[in-house]
C-alpha cells in the first residue's frame, strides 16, 4: 500500500519525523494555512519525501490532479485533536478514510466557484442524462436560473441533481465529487448557515 500525506504546517513537526521513514509513505505535501513560512522551511530539509509547501489551495489541488493522486486514492486529513490522542499507526481504515474526506471537503470549500466549474458540472450532468429529455430540460433550467440561495430547494426536488450528487457522495468517488464541487460548496454553506440559525434560537 502506498500512502500520500497532506499536512498543514502546524502538524509537520509532530507528524513528519514519525512517518517519513515508513516505506509506505510515498510523498508528503504541506498546505501552509497560517502563513507559518519559517516553521515549514525548518522542517522541509529534514524529510526528503516532502514534495512541496503550498500556501495556495488551487496550486496544491492542481499539483495533486496533475499527478493523478485523486484518481484512485481515498483522501484524508490528520487534525491536531486526533494526533494528540493516537499515533498514525493506531488509525483504523475507517478513521483514515473519514479524515481523507475531511481534507477533500476542506479543499473544495476553499476553491473558488467559477464559470468553468459550473460548466464542468453541467457537462457531467448532461452526459449522465443524454437520452432523457425530461431531465435534460431540468439541467438546462438549472443552468439558466440557479442561484446559491436555491441550492437546498434544488436538492429536495426529485431531479438529476439529487441523484448524481448522492451517488458521488455515497460511492465516495473523488473524481465525481470534484466535478460537482460548484454545487456541493453551496449546499454545504447553506446547511451550515441553517445550523447556525437553529443554534441561536
Q: 23-38: per-residue pLDDT in tens?
A: 666 677 777 765 555 5
Confidence of residue 18 (pLDDT cuts 50, 70, 90): low
* Cα distances (angstroms) measured from residue 38 to each of 34, 135, 136: 11, 53, 52
The pLDDT tens digits of the residues spanning 144-199 come to 999 999 999 999 888 999 999 988 888 877 778 888 989 998 988 888 888 888 77
∠ at Cα 23 (17, 27), nearest 5°? 65
Binning the chain into helix, strand and coil, the percentages to the nearest 5 are 65, 10, 25
Q: Identify which of 29, 8, 10, 32 has the alpha carbon closest to the alpha carbon of residue 20.
A: 29
Amino acid at each position: 500500500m502506498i500512502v500520500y500525506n497532506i499536512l498543514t504546517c502546524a502538524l509537520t513537526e509532530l507528524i513528519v519525523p514519525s512517518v517519513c521513514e515508513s516505506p509506505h509513505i510515498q510523498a508528503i505535501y504541506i498546505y501552509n494555512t497560517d502563513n507559518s513560512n519559517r516553521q515549514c522551511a525548518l522542517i522541509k530539509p529534514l524529510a526528503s519525501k516532502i514534495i512541496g509547501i503550498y500556501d495556495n489551495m488551487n496550486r496544491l489541488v492542481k499539483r495533486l490532479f496533475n499527478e493523478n493522486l485523486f484518481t484512485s486514492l481515498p483522501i484524508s486529513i490528520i487534525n491536531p485533536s486526533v494526533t494528540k490522542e493516537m499515533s498514525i499507526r493506531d488509525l483504523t481504515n475507517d478513521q483514515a478514510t473519514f479524515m481523507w474526506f475531511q481534507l477533500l471537503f476542506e479543499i473544495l470549500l476553499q476553491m473558488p466557484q467559477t464559470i468553468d466549474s459550473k460548466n464542468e458540472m453541467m457537462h457531467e450532468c448532461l452526459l449522465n442524462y443524454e437520452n432523457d429529455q425530461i431531465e435534460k430540460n431540468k439541467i438546462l433550467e438549472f443552468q439558466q436560473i440557479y442561484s446559491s440561495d436555491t441550492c437546498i430547494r434544488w436538492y429536495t426536488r426529485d431531479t438529476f441533481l439529487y441523484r448524481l450528487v448522492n451517488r458521488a457522495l455515497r460511492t465516495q468517488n473523488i473524481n465525481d465529487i470534484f466535478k460537482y464541487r460548484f454545487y456541493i460548496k453551496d449546499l454545504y454553506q447553506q446547511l451550515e448557515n441553517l445550523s447556525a440559525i437553529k443554534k441561536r434560537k
